[in-house]
Structure 1
Amino acid sequence: MLAVTCMEYIKEEVNNKGYSYADVARRTKADYRTVKKYADKEDFQTSTASKKKQPSPVMDPVKPTIDAWIQEDRKKKKKYRRTATRMWQLLKKDGFKGSERSVRHYVSRRKMELVEESEDAALPLENKPGTAQVDFGEGLFSREGKIVDLPYLILSFPGSGGCYTQVFESQNQDCFLEGLKRFFHHIDGVPNTIRFDNLSPAVKKILPRGERELTERFRTFALHYGFKYEFCNPVSGNEKGHVEAMVKYVRNNFFLPERTVYDLEALNDALWEEVEGDRERPHYKHGTSIAELHQKDLDSLYYLPSTPYDTMRYESLKADKYGFVTVDQKKYSTSPRFASQRVLVGISYNRIIIFQDDDVIVSHQRLYGGETESIDWVPYLSLMAKRPTALKYTTFFDQLPKPWRAYLEDCTLSEKKEALKFLATIMKDQQMDKAVQALKTASKQGHPSADAIQQVYHQQMHGRGYRETVDVPQQLPSMPEAHRGMKQYDAFFQVKGGSSHA
């Protein structure tokens, strides 16, 4: 039997809008005779008469087991589900005496009943375990002495009141998909159905008759994890009222007053436990704890796919004449050798990675907010070593610690080249603090050479400490003059008068 909403749609399209049976059948993918039957039907009263069920002494004891298998298999992809024949074989091992045909008949009928029950239970969405809603909220946070707005993504389960949240830098598609992926892998499963607002990371365009043109990445993400998606009608936030309420609840109970953020990932790690602890409170309606109700949601989740979805996207971008690529109006350095060339750029919610074939050239933290440019100077230092006079006019020079700026200003041209080569080496290991310490130590004897700084640096890095240079006296004692050849050897054996010892 068709779901009630489908019957209503058929009657509306045929009787009120005047579409033909064939047209409606084609759009609903229903049989022509079925469409005609429900369009013309007048009596929809439910019959109170029911067929008396006959007891089945052979099948009745195993029906709960079969039902459990069917419910468990519904979380899996079809190719991993037990067939009716396989169920019969498993039952036989436990002493079942019934026929394979009886099992096949029951499995077929029970699967159809569970599908109908599932469709009925989905109306309304909030009453079905394992269904969820998703939306972004915004909260105030304290960061580096400033109050900033940061978005947080919410996954809520209306049936139980359970929810999860993660804070991000933006509401862009990269953060949106990363958030969903985190939720799924944290709860070790995938909600059966998720209702969204018409978020731009998911919906490219709203089409007539409730259809949506989805973004390609969201479509492939949903296919990968296997959840059904639903979208609210435009300007109808009440259709996802639970997640709207949870957005306010999370803001009021977790982010007020303004929470100080030093490390966003550390904050998100803490939020898993904080939100879980909050579920111990009683549900406002059912009396029992939210955690107990939420367990039904978790038991109804689909299984995760064998491999996680790669939320990093890859684009081929052309670098400008300085070797910078642009992502969302932000500039990221590559290397001087890639100036005006195309490079492969990996873009995730928090990283921008420049590739050459399979090798990583540069990895940047993704920029948000007011910053517009990220520079990794390591690939540029070898070029600067060839053009040291340009050093003072780069932002790299301004970013150097004060001792190094002062040292480089006192260097000759050749000394500056060697110092830049040394900096290129240590900056690959992100050891600038050690380089500052080495410079200060080596400078105790005056203006040091790059080799002297490098020697102190390696002594510090390998745990040998700094070894003072031995002071050599300026006046050395006179030494006897050395002569090359065998003359002195011959003179040692020479006897006066020209004779020698035999």
Structure 2
Amino acid sequence: MGYSRESLEMIFDAHDRAFAFWGGIPQRMIYDNPRTLVDAVKVGKQCRFNRQFLALANHYLFEPVACTPASGWEKGQVENQVGNVREWLFSPRPRFKDLAELNAWLEQQYREKLAQRPHPDQRSRTIGQVFAEEQAQLRPVGKPFAGYVEKACRVAATCTVGYDRNRYSVPAEYAGQGVFLRATATRIKIVQKGKTLACHKRCFGREQQILDPWHYLPVLERKPGALRNGAPFVQWDLPSPVRKVRDHLLKQDKGDRAFASLSMAGSD
């Protein structure tokens, strides 16, 4: 899987997807002390793993093991194999329109390599054939780990909360209130007292506003003129029949007020 960055929520998602792809969970997993997972490196192999990462390990019941710093030999052929994979897949360098297209292509390529490439130690057998034997020793995958990064924040006057240099809308009635934002690799969820207030597809741009027009209907009731130029409504993706009604009403005197009233009635 390809990700836009190496943040904790991406690590959670990568583990979920890896175990699903492998069809099981190993007893031990070795890590090269990434700062995302390790709070402190001590003498030898001793380290203090991040508390949230340990929750992931406890959920899946595997033992995380840290490499000794600057001891590349402990990772077997991993680093060489990474170089081989880069050469197999990215020479010449392919291009993709987004991460989803890249990841679909990566999965296809890996499945093909499993079936075609000889194992580095057992040259008469493919990687896939050797893995099929090892797979039987993996622990079955149960319920996925519901991993997310949470932060407390206050809803701005613009009915938005910020995360990772972008802003996401919250229903207008919660403006000024305290909420919790939960970020996963793909979604942003805003909750308050256990209730989900909003859920958005995560944006990986910068200084973007991800606005749900339905969150701003109470604002329309007070300021119907916002329907014409307000940021949440400029590119409002309405069903075709509703869009035709809106366009028709906006051509009339006080049509924005009429459509705002119609929208409020529909939301009820």
Name the TM-score, length of structure 2 as normaliser.
0.81
Q: How many residue pairs are counted as aligned between the two chains?
A: 258
Task: Give the drift of 1:238.
Answer: 5.0
Aligned to 1:319: 155
2: CA distance, partners of 1:198 / 1:213: 10
Task: Give the drift of 1:244.
Answer: 2.5
2: CA distance, partners of 1:220 / 1:284: 34
2: CA distance, partners of 1:216 / 1:272: 30
Aligned to 1:307: 143
2: CA distance, partners of 1:425 / 1:315: 34
Aligned to 1:278: 113
> Which amino acid in the other structure matches residue 224 of structure 1?
H
8 Å CA contact 1:385–1:418 kept in 2: the answer is: no
Distance 1:308 1:284, change over 3 A: closer
1:260 partner SS: coil
Aligned to 1:159: none
Distance 1:340 1:261, change over 3 A: same
> Which amino acid in the other structure matches residue 204 of structure 2?
Y
2:122 partner SS: coil
Aligned to 1:297: 134
8 Å CA contact 2:46–2:66 kept in 1: the answer is: no
Matched, 1:420 2:260: yes
Distance 1:284 1:209, change over 3 A: closer
2:11 partner SS: helix
8 Å CA contact 1:382–1:421 kept in 2: the answer is: no
> Which amino acid in the other structure matches residue 88 of structure 2?
N
Aligned 1:430-449 pairs, distance under 5 A? none
Aligned to 1:173: 8
Gaps of 5+ in 2: 238-242
Task: Give the drift of 1:368.
Answer: 1.2
Aligned to 2:217: 381
8 Å CA contact 2:2–2:99 kept in 1: the answer is: no
> Which amino acid in the other structure matches residue 290 of structure 1?
I
Aligned 1:25-174 pairs, distance under 5 A? 166-174=1-9
Task: Give the drift of 1:352.
Answer: 0.5
Once the two structures are superposed, residues 25-57 of structure 1 have per-residue CA deviations (whole angstroms, 9 ceiling, x without a partner) of: xxxxxxxxxxxxxxxxxxxxxxxxxxxxxxxxx
8 Å CA contact 2:147–2:184 kept in 1: the answer is: yes
Task: Give the drift of 1:317.
Answer: 2.6
> Which amino acid in the other structure matches residue 378 of structure 1?
W
Aligned to 1:249: 84
8 Å CA contact 1:378–1:424 kept in 2: the answer is: no
Once the two structures are superposed, residues 85-124 of structure 1 have per-residue CA deviations (whole angstroms, 9 ceiling, x without a partner) of: xxxxxxxxxxxxxxxxxxxxxxxxxxxxxxxxxxxxxxxx
8 Å CA contact 1:381–1:421 kept in 2: the answer is: no
Aligned to 1:67: none
Q: Which has the higher contact order (CA 8 A, sep 6+)?
A: 2
8 Å CA contact 1:386–1:417 kept in 2: the answer is: no
Aligned to 1:194: 29
Which one has a bigger Cα radius of gyration? 1
Task: Give the drift of 1:207.
Answer: 2.5
Task: Give the drift of 1:407.
Answer: 5.7
Percent identical pairs in the alignment equals: 23
2: CA distance, partners of 1:284 / 1:187: 19
The structure with the largest helix share of the pair is: 1
8 Å CA contact 2:227–2:234 kept in 1: the answer is: no
1:380 partner SS: helix
Once the two structures are superposed, residues 401-427 of structure 1 have per-residue CA deviations (whole angstroms, 9 ceiling, x without a partner) of: 8x88976764423x212213445688x
2: CA distance, partners of 1:291 / 1:359: 45
8 Å CA contact 1:382–1:420 kept in 2: the answer is: no
1:259 partner SS: coil
Name the TM-score, length of structure 1 as normaliser.
0.46
2: CA distance, partners of 1:287 / 1:350: 39
1: CA distance, partners of 2:123 / 2:7: 38
Aligned to 1:260: 96
1:345 equivalent among 169, 178, 181:
181
Matched, 1:336 2:172: yes
Aligned 1:387-406 pairs, distance under 5 A? 387-400=223-236
Once the two structures are superposed, residues 223-259 of structure 1 have per-residue CA deviations (whole angstroms, 9 ceiling, x without a partner) of: 1212222222334445435333333333333344223
8 Å CA contact 1:193–1:228 kept in 2: the answer is: yes
Matched, 1:224 2:59: yes
8 Å CA contact 1:323–1:336 kept in 2: the answer is: yes
Distance 1:269 1:359, change over 3 A: farther
8 Å CA contact 1:346–1:354 kept in 2: the answer is: yes
Distance 1:329 1:204, change over 3 A: farther
1:362 partner SS: strand
Distance 1:286 1:210, change over 3 A: closer
Once the two structures are superposed, residues 181-235 of structure 1 have per-residue CA deviations (whole angstroms, 9 ceiling, x without a partner) of: 1111232211122111111221112224442121111111111212222222334
